[in-house]
Amino acid sequence: MAPILEARRLDKSFPRAGGAVTVLQGCDFALAPGENVAIIGPSGAGKSTFLNLISGLDAPTAGEVLYDGKPLTGLGPDGWADWRRAHVGFVFQFHFLLPDFTALENVLMPARLRGDSGAQAAGRALALLARMGLADRADHLPGELSGGEQQRVAVARAYMNAPRLVLADEPFGNLDLQKGRELADLLLSLGRDEGSSLVVVTHDLTLAARADRILELRDGRLAEAPAGLS
Ligand SMILES: Nc1ncnc2c1ncn2[C@@H]1O[C@H](COP(=O)(O)OP(=O)(O)OP(=O)(O)O)[C@@H](O)[C@H]1O
Ligand SMILES: [Mg+2]
């Protein structure tokens, strides 16, 4: 199957006084439609940098990113933002929920941002919250939810606009092992039901093993993780 997302020969270095820091060097990547890929690698290996490059939040020093075979590189900040709004959901280590809005309103936010606040959107938001086990927390403010519940709201929000691609950077990093694994199961099963693709960065090899494929970022490149990990 033709990949939904591809990165070709990505290089990234950060210029700094005293010498540039090279993070990625000739990094290749291909993600199939509906595929779940986990990315592992030591701290500072460039995992967050890689997610930033494939979503246009940062620009590569060289190389290109393609979506459905078409180059995204060169779109410019507004073009990338339009593309993200239409096709990508994000989950971060910190939930970034809006503190003055209820769980339901937070999940609805991506729909509102594209001008859709009808009953159908509200129905989908409620269904996603229910799927996350939060049917009875829809009118709670983030401050009235536990850390794990907050992160589940953030997952529901990421899927609100039915993105074809979800990018998650250490989404379980702040949760205890048990809560993190519960959330990983929810994230993976929701992604599979929605038919979307997922790229998830995690330090937890047990979580990574639940994805379809594990890639390791090392020395600036992505490679299949050594056998025995998956
Ligand atoms: N804006 C920047 N300027 C200079 N160096 C940077 C910048 N952003 C990141 N780096 C460097 O790039 C390297 C990769 O950073 P990155 O955040 O991608 O790592 P990571 O694999 O996500 O690590 P972690 O597991 O700790 O989150 C680090 O050595 C970091 O210091
Ligand atoms: Mg990181």
Query: Residue written as tokens 């490679």?
Result: 223
Q: Above pLDDT 90, what percent of the chain? A: 81
- Cα 216–chain centre separation: 17
pLDDT tens track for 148-177: 999 999 999 999 999 999 999 999 888 888
Where residue 30 falls (left for φ over 0; alpha for ψ -120 to 50; beta otherwise) is beta
Pocket test for ligand 1, best of 47, 94, 218 (most atoms within 8 A of CB): 47
pLDDT tens track for 52-107: 999 999 999 999 999 999 999 888 899 999 999 999 999 998 889 999 999 999 99
Report how far residue 200's alpha carbon sits from residue 102's, in angstroms, rounded to the nearest whole number.
26
Strands 221-224 and 88-91: unpaired
Structural element, H or E, at residue 215: strand 213-218
pLDDT tens track for 27-52: 999 999 999 999 999 999 999 999 99
Strands 70-71 and 213-218: unpaired
pTM of the model: 0.94
Question: Please, where are the H alpha helices in 92-225?
Answer: 103-113, 119-131, 147-159, 177-194, 205-208
48 lines ligand 1 (CB under 6 A): yes
Confidence at residue 229, expressed as pLDDT on a 0 to 100 scale: 60
In order of their start, the domains of the chain are 5-224 (3.40.50.300)
Confidence at residue 228, expressed as pLDDT on a 0 to 100 scale: 62
If you average pLDDT over every residue of the chain, what do you get? 93
The ligand 1 atom at the shortest distance from the C-alpha of residue 203 is 25
Pocket test for ligand 1, best of 14, 167, 199 (most atoms within 8 A of CB): 14
